[in-house]
Amino acid sequence: MARRGRTSIVREVKESIDAIDKIGQSKRDARAKGNSGIHSKKQKENTMSDCQNFVKWCRSEHGVKSIASLTEEHYRAYITHLKDKGVSRGHICNVETSLRLLQKGFEKRSERFEGERKICKGFCPEKRLTSYKHGENARNRAYTREEIQQIRERCSPEVQKAVDLMQNLGLRVREAVNVRVEHFVSDNDGWKLDIKKGTGITKGGRYRKIPIPKEFEMKLEKMLANKQSGNERLVCVSAGTVRDGINVACRRAGIEQNVRGAHGFRHAYARARMNQLAAVEHKQMMARILDNKEIGRKADYGILSERDKRVYTETKEIMDKIHEELGHGKNRWELAMRYLRE
């Protein structure tokens, strides 16, 4: 292979991020094969922006001209630079995630250019430098039933449909406006949402299988009525229109959103499912587990008796089931802090 001309460090970032572009591929399958990467357009955009800002700073401040020349000292200096600028802890956590993806992508990219064997020695420290504080952003973000009713009454019919899908199925706003007729199936057990290939619909293209609540079946059937094709969407407006409609409805109803936005309906779904699936002993165990996590202990700290171990296992299974319905992975106690904590 002919040797390529020198590539700028900014160009290297683009090629590295492109090398781990898995958009449209199942995140679960890729993880199982040890081949995961970037699975959504938004994640790719954010990662590209974070990494280009990083390498431009390294080039300007330290004269670095290639990702292969980056070291852990550059990484640490950049994180300190962001902290000194007053960048939020949450954003710095996201930047650290992006830089780990850059390192992985550059290693993958290097495999493609035999004549240009720029091997990344690894510039990311083994452990992250920044983490969320225990309990940070853990407050209840769910709308109450009364708030949801007030919001619905002040929305257009199409926005009402999206609100209903988010509240009753835990869908994200983009998922609610992109879900199609073909994704709803009925059998002897009732209606289900069954998305086998989530490309362009779910975050990261994740599959989704959710039982339809009995009390929502009649509304769902009305949404499906008069649709001529399985490819038709149930909601015929954009995600932006839904968000704007919710914001206006909240203002008119005098409801303080407190950063809940459209996501507040997913939180309401998660808490409703917890109430449906968990007995009192499971809720008590969840509170105990999250208390452990909040002060930095392991989830099962102090859970020693056979009864407690059984209840712990059952509680974890309930949490994982709810997370699966929301499109999250397993063992996500930090998300339970936000979605399920009383």
pLDDT digits (tens, 9 = 90+) for 31-82: 767 777 888 888 899 999 999 999 999 999 999 999 999 999 999 999 999 9
The mean pLDDT of 187-208, rounded to a whole number, is 90
What pTM was estimated for this model as a whole? Answer: 0.66
Residue 209 near residue 225, CB atoms below 8 Å: no
Return the ∠ at Cα 220 (arms to 219 and 225), rounded to 5°.
100
The mean pLDDT of 225-236, rounded to a whole number, is 94
Q: Please say if the pLDDT value at position 2 is more than 60.
A: no
> Average pLDDT over the chain, rounded to whole?
89
- Residue 149: both structure tokens together: 């009713």
* Burial (0-12, 13-18, 19+ Cβ within 10 Å), 286: buried
Nearest residue to 1 via CA among 116, 144, 119, 140? 116
Q: Which residue has the higher pLDDT, 14 or 140?
A: 14
Instruction: Give the 3-state secondary structure of the chain.
Output: CCCCCCCCHHHHHHHHHHHCECCCCCHHHHHHCCCCCECCHHHHHHHHHHHHHHHHHHHHHHCCCCHHHCCHHHHHHHHHHHHHCCCCHHHHHHHHHHHHHHHHHHHHHHCCCCCCCCCCCCCCCCCCCCCCCCCCCCCCCCCCHHHHHHHHHCCCHHHHHHHHHHHHHCCCHHHHHHCEHHHEEEECCEEEEEECCCCCCCHHHCCEEEECCHHHHHHHHHHHCCCCCCCCECCCCCHHHHHHHHHHHHHHHCCCCCCCHHHHHHHHHHHHHHHHHCCHHHHHHHHHHHHHHHCCCCCCCCCCCHHHHHHHHHHHHHHHHHHHHHCCCCCCHHHHHHHCCC
CA distance readout (Å), 6 to 9, 12, 48, 51: 9, 10, 20, 19
Report the distance separating Cα 322 and Cα 93, nearest Å. Answer: 25
Q: Please say if the pLDDT value at position 170 is more than 70.
A: yes
Nearest residue to 285 via CA among 342, 222, 216, 231? 342
Q: Please say if the pLDDT value at position 119 is more than 60.
A: no
Tell me: the pLDDT tens digits for 253-266?
999 987 789 999 99
Report the distance separating Cα 278 and Cα 339, nearest Å. Answer: 14
pLDDT band with cut points at 50, 70 and 90 for residue 319: very high
Residue 47 near residue 13, CB atoms below 8 Å: no
Tell me: the pLDDT tens digits for 140-165?
889 999 999 999 999 999 999 999 99
